[in-house]
């Protein structure tokens, strides 16, 4: 059985349904971005949005993808760091409930929380307090963790902890794993363009980007950006919203249509796309079916608030995939 190891920030998402964009400006949060904040700012965001409807769910980009993979039947493990607190326990239990094998390190630092402010158009803006998540370090990683796995899925957000990011990539490559990287967010790419270009060239086999991230990295529009990424990676995927996605592999280009969906919240769309595509890849499906599976999962997750699809929908998804 093919096994996938995921490494990322172990976060719990607090999804907050705000009624307009003005509050984002008041909090100096660029719409659609992911901003790292300190604990004081996190509390400030909480106070400013306390009157809105909110809910909690385990999150973190790589963890969302790993959870989706496990739900599809892929053997999946997640490596992260949480606090020794109720939020950390919630995160662990949710992974287990989804069929993921958790490998979580703990400390007395509060667990990380990402406050996702969701505007009426479904766009999400993150104010992320990393807390204990950022304490995952090079000292936690060793060759044994990677042994027996075939793929590493790593989130671009970890580039902010470059020693950890590079150590994970080096150990995975030494252990013979295929490496998949998601570029995370356009502002993450803009702040770390040189390092990302270097590691993509040296380590990455499968690259996921949306059109804003691809442009931030290459300066090019989606089709040209795809070709540029394909020069460095075996599989290059650029997601283009309602127009679907484009995939490059060994000189061939594939256009994958989006599945129709009524957008409630875009949280987790890219994460679920990656889960669907990678599940197809590990099962030796065609590029078209793998891409369609990614598009299906993305459509399902944007139809609900939050990055979590319920068990009944997973049953439906597995049935639809069988017919693709």
Q: Which residues touch 3 (CB under 8 Å, ≥6 apart)?
A: 74, 75, 76, 77, 148, 149, 150, 151
What's the topology of domain 3-9+59-109+131-323? 3.40.1190
Average pLDDT over residues 2-21: 94
Q: What pLDDT shows up at residue 268?
A: 85
Q: What pTM was estimated for this model as a whole?
A: 0.90
Question: How many whole angstroms separate alpha carbon 215 and alpha carbon 218?
Answer: 5
Helices (H), ranges, 75-161: 86-97, 143-146
The side-by-side arrangement of strands in the sheet containing 11-17 is 34-36, 124-129, 112-118, 11-17, 54-59
pLDDT-derived band at 316, boundaries 50, 70, 90? very high
Question: How many whole angstroms separate alpha carbon 37 and alpha carbon 14?
Answer: 14
pLDDT-derived band at 306, boundaries 50, 70, 90? low
Please write the tens of the pLDDT for every residue from 44-92: 999 999 999 998 888 899 999 999 999 999 999 999 999 999 999 999 9
Question: How many whole angstroms separate alpha carbon 319 and alpha carbon 315?
Answer: 6
| Tokens coding 182 | 């998601």
| Tokens coding 28 | 């100096």
Please write the tens of the pLDDT for every residue from 200-222: 999 999 999 999 999 999 999 99
Q: What is the dihedral of CA 85, 86, 88, 89, to 10 degrees?
A: 120
> In b/e form, how buried is each residue of 270-304, taking b as 16+ CB within 10 angstroms?
bbbbbbbbbbbbbeebebebbbbbbbbbbbbbbbb
The side-by-side arrangement of strands in the sheet containing 101-107 is 101-107, 75-83, 3-7, 151-155, 178-182, 206-210, 235-239, 245-249, 252-256
- Closest to 157 in 3D by CA, of 24, 264, 279, 6: 6
Average pLDDT over residues 228-238: 98
Q: What pLDDT shows up at residue 13?
A: 86
Question: How many whole angstroms separate alpha carbon 130 and alpha carbon 243?
Answer: 33
């Amino acid at each position: 059985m093919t096994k996938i190891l995921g490494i990322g920030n172990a976060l719990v998402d607090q999804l907050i349904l705000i009624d307009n964009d003005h509050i984002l400006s008041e909090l100096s949060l660029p719409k659609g971005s992911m901003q790292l904040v300190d604990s004081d700012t996190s509390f400030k965001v909480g106070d400013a949005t306390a009157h809105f409807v909110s809910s909690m769910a385990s999150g973190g980009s790589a963890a969302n993808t790993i959870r989706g993979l496990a739900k599809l039947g892929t053997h999946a493990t997640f490596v992260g760091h949480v606090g020794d607190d109720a939020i950390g326990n919630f995160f662990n239990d949710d992974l287990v409930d989804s069929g993921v094998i958790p490998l979580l390190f703990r400390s007395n630092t509060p667990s990380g929380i990402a406050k996702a402010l969701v505007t009426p158009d479904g766009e999400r803006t993150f104010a992320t307090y990393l807390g204990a998540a950022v304490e995952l370090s090079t000292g936690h990683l060793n060759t044994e963790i990677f042994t027996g796995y075939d793929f590493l899925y790593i989130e671009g957000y970890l580039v902010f902890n470059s020693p950890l990011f590079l150590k994970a990539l080096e150990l995975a490559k030494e252990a013979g794993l295929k490496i998949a990287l998601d570029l995370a967010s356009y502002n993450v790419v803009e702040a770390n363009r040189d390092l990302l270009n270097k590691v993509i060239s040296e380590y990455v086999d499968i690259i996921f980007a949306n059109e804003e991230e691809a442009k931030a990295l290459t300066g090019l529009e989606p089709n040209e950006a795809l070709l540029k990424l394909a020069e460095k990676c075996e599989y290059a995927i650029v997601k283009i919203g309602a127009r679907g996605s484009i995939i490059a592999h060994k000189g061939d280009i594939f256009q994958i249509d989006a599945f129709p969906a009524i957008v409630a919240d875009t949280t987790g769309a890219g994460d679920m796309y990656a889960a669907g595509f990678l599940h197809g890849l590990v099962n030796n499906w065609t590029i078209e079916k793998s891409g369609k599976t990614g598009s299906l999962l993305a459509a399902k997750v944007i139809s609900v608030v939050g990055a979590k699809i319920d068990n009944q929908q997973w049953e439906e998804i597995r049935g639809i995939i069988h017919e693709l």
